[in-house]
Structure 1
Amino acid sequence: MADFICDRTFKAQDFTKTRLKRAEYENCRFEGCDFSDGFLDNQHFMECTFLECNLSNANVVNTIFKEVRFEHCKMMGLKFETCNALFIDFGFLDCTLNYSSFYGLTLKGLRMVDSKLIGADFTDCNLTQSQFVRCNLENALFQNTNLSQADVSTSTNMNIDPERNVLSNCTFSMENLPGLLAKYKIKVVS
């Protein structure tokens, strides 16, 4: 049985060589910690906040992220599809998620704000009612993705094929139009 750790703050700790103790973390804060290329597999994070942490390329196999917030974090190359998908519930504010993968996840109501998602993979995701607020979606992959009732109207650099994704009641701006028509090689001018 894993330990239970509640209401603790971890500041500026380096978990790249010594792994975070395997436990269930509830209502904990991780501030300025380095988990890059480290092991966060089989951990349980509930109602936790990661602030200004580096989680790039961390192993998150079977990890539970339930009601977790990531703020101002570097999270490049994470394979979120290896997490425990049953309890997955998180949000991102001003995070760098370049080349991270959310392949096949159900992330209804996901909220990403002011984040970089360059080359991120959302193939086969259910992103119903999600919000991408002022995000950079350059080269992000949307294939067989359900974006019903999602809002991407303030995001930039997207390329989403309307024939290969579900877009019913998805909100776009006029500035998003070239990214929806890119495959047709149509030029949109204002």
Structure 2
Amino acid sequence: MCESKDYEVAVTCHMDLSRHIRGKITRTPLPWTLTHQQQKRLKAPAAPKLPSPLGVAQLPEHDMEDDGTYRGLEFNGSDLTSREVDAAEYEGCRFVVTSFAGSQLRRAGFVNVELERCDLSNMTARASGMHRVRTSASRLTGMTWTECAFRDVLFDACRADLIGFRFSTFKNTVFRDCTMPEANFQNADLRGVRFERCDLSLNPRRDSC
């Protein structure tokens, strides 16, 4: 198990992580490895800026659809599972106990967004992005974001086993107190990532969520 205790020492785990981040065992330092000083210079992610008050989202009026734009809304207990959507944009929104499980997104954007106790398991996204997003106490099992961009993003106390971020880039992104066994960061640029007290072990935990 590789368990990072704070920002500065997170990168010391890179040789253990290489076994599943690269999809094979490697014997050389990974190209995204940061020095101690570089880790110290990484900034904390900026918090989402949400309007007040938020409107109340109602389905099907605010259901995900192609080229849909959603601003200043709170989704509480919404079912957004198994959607296939292109170019949806969320700005200044909060999601509480909302499920995106199994949804497939392309060219989606999340800006100034909060997700609390949500289910994003087996959700897939490609060529999408998150900017100033906080995801807390949520289930991300099997979630896959490929060729995506993350900036000022915090994942806090999330279950994220088998998560995937292949070919993605990160800036000012923090994973804090997350369970992330067998995470896949193949060919991702992790120079802007910090892991804080995360479980990045090679063998997934099979206990119930």
Task: Give the alignment's TM-score, normalised by structure 1.
Answer: 0.63
The residue that corresponds to 2:194 in the other structure is: 176
CA RMSD of aligned residues (A): 3.2
Residue 101 of structure 1: CA displacement? 1.6
Of 49, 67, 77, the residue aligned with 2:87 is: 67
Query: Residues 179 and 169 of structure 1: is their aligned pair in 2 closer, same or farther, counting only changes over 3 Å?
Result: farther
How far 1:161 sits from its partner (Å)? 6.4
Residues 169 and 124 (structure 1), Cα distance of their counterparts in 2 relative to 1, 3 Å cut: same
Q: Which amino acid aligns with 2:141?
A: T
Preserved contact between residue 144 and residue 164 of structure 1 (Cα < 8 Å)? yes
Aligned to 2:98: 78
Contact 1:96 1:116 (C-alpha < 8 Å) held by counterparts: yes
Deviation at 1:175, TM superposition (A): 6.4
Once the two structures are superposed, the pairs formed by residues 79-158 of structure 1 within 5 Å of their partners are 79-81=99-101, 83=103, 85=104, 88-89=105-106, 90-158=108-176
CA 1:179/1:131 → structure 2, altered by over 3 Å: closer, same or farther?
farther
From 26, 39, 43, give the equivalent of 2:59.
39
- How many residue pairs get matched? 149
Q: What SS class does the counterpart of residue 50 from structure 1 fall into? A: strand
Q: Which residue of 2 aligns with 1:56?
A: 76
Query: Are 1:153 and 1:176, in contact at CA under 8 Å, matched by a contact in 2?
Result: no
Query: Separation in 2 of the partners of 1:43 and 1:178?
Result: 35
Structure 2 unaligned regions, length at least 5: 1-53, 202-209
Q: Deviations 1:10-39 (Å, cap 9, x if unpaired)?
A: xxxxxxxxxxxxxxxxxxxxxx6412xx43
With over 3 angstroms needed to count, the CA separation of the structure-2 counterparts of 1:41 and 1:72, relative to structure 1, is closer
Contact 1:153 1:173 in 2 (8 A): yes
Cα distance in structure 2, aligned partners of 1:33 and 1:176 = 34
Instruction: Tell me the CA shift for residue 50 of structure 1.
Output: 0.6
Distance in 1, Cα, partners of 2:138 & 2:90: 16
Identity over the aligned pairs, expressed in percent?
9
Higher strand share: 2
TM-score relative to the length of structure 2 = 0.58
Distance change >3 Å, CA 163–CA 52, structure 1 → 2: closer
The one-letter code matched in structure 1 to 2:182 is R
Separation (CA, whole Å) in 2 of partners of 1:96 and 1:50? 14
The 8 Å contact of residues 158 and 179 in structure 2, kept in 1 or not, is answered as: no
